[in-house]
Amino acid sequence: MSFSKHVINKINEEFESKRQRNEDLRDTRLAEVYSKLPEIKTIDKELSQTGMSIMSCALAGKDGLDERIKNLRERNLELQRERAIMLASRGFDESYTDLHYDCELCQDYGVHNGKLCSCYKNRLIEEQFKLSGISNLIKTQSFEAFSLDLYENKEEMGQLLDYATNYVRDFATVKDNILFVGGTGLGKTHLSTAIAKSLIEKGYNVIYETAQNIFFDFDNDHFRDRFGDGEPVSQKYLDCDLLIIDDLGAEAVNSFTVAYLYNIINTRLNKNLPIIASTNLNSKEIRSKYHDRITSRLFGEFNIKLFTGNDLRKLQK
């Protein structure tokens, strides 16, 4: 599990402001109640004193204090009952001035029983979806929506689907690079989105982007003055758990894009961080478009998976 630092910081800040908001709400309500029922302020003072006395008696742990603790507890309960009755007399619920939590389980700290609370995890996943670049695609392009009925070659495509679901299942240990190759409208983007969605739900930091946009980000970082600007935008393409490069080959190739692609592939191979790339180009076109240093890695280090059949976009019309 490795959500991006940026996302984690954002969610932590969000949780902190949630706690602050609830504390502010409690303070406002207390002020309201004290102004309408000043006696409650006196009760609260005594409640906090009895609470502290119980605590110090318990810590002292001496014989003979048991009776005193018992008395303090009784007084404490009595005060609470009195307080509730007073609140009710003015139409307030007895929990009106209690500290309220958005999530009772973790009291808005994001941790429950030593593990990340589900409220925190869900926010992480939601935010990671936004960052991944596929938040629009995932609504329609999931494994569930990937049908084999549309293909003539159901068996081959079925094997490809199995390969993709196993890829997600085994991602923690097997980090293959994949090159999806095939003509337009055959499901390459759909299947890579489905993989991304499932892996994000498992807690991985997956980034999806077209080759063109990835190189655009590298260009921007390369040509702008970066001093004092923090981490370059393109850094995420080198660091994420899985990078999905869509439409490789559709970009206008120049010496910069080739250098960026080489850097991405090489850096990620060295860090054992996989890439799934999709392309319309056949192997001959790939060789003529990219430098040997790139093609030797694409053909040597990537599992090539072929998509065949008829353009599903046409079938859908």
Starting at the earlier edge strand, list the strands of the sheet with 206-210: 206-210, 242-248, 275-279, 177-182, 302-307
Nearest CA-CA partner of 306 in 168, 154, 147, 157? 157
Q: Tokens at residue 216, please?
A: 């655009």
The secondary structure element, H or E, covering residue 111 is strand 111-112
For residues 160 and 236, the answer to whether their CB atoms sit within 8 Å is no
Segment interacting with Zn ion (CB under 5 A) among 12-20, 58-66, 110-118, 246-254: 110-118
The bridge status of strand 115-116 relative to strand 111-112 is antiparallel
Whose Cβ is closer to ligand ATP: residue 232's or residue 249's? 249
| Shortest separation between residue 186's beta carbon and ligand ATP, angstroms | 4
Contact between 279 and Mg ion by CB under 5 A: the answer reads: no
| Shortest separation between residue 95's beta carbon and Zn ion, angstroms | 19
Binding mask 189-228 for Mg ion (x = CB under 5 A): x---------------------------------------
Contact between 150 and Zn ion by CB under 5 A: the answer reads: no
| Shortest separation between residue 246's beta carbon and Mg ion, angstroms | 6
Whose Cβ is closer to Zn ion: residue 105's or residue 306's? 105
| Near Zn ion in 88-107, by CB under 5 A | 103, 105-106
Distance CA 22, CA 99 (A): 7
For residues 178 and 305, the answer to whether their CB atoms sit within 8 Å is yes
For residues 275 and 245, the answer to whether their CB atoms sit within 8 Å is yes
Contact residues for ligand ATP, defined by CB under 6 A: 140-141, 145-147, 150, 184-190, 247, 280, 307, 312-313
Whose Cβ is closer to Zn ion: residue 108's or residue 251's? 108
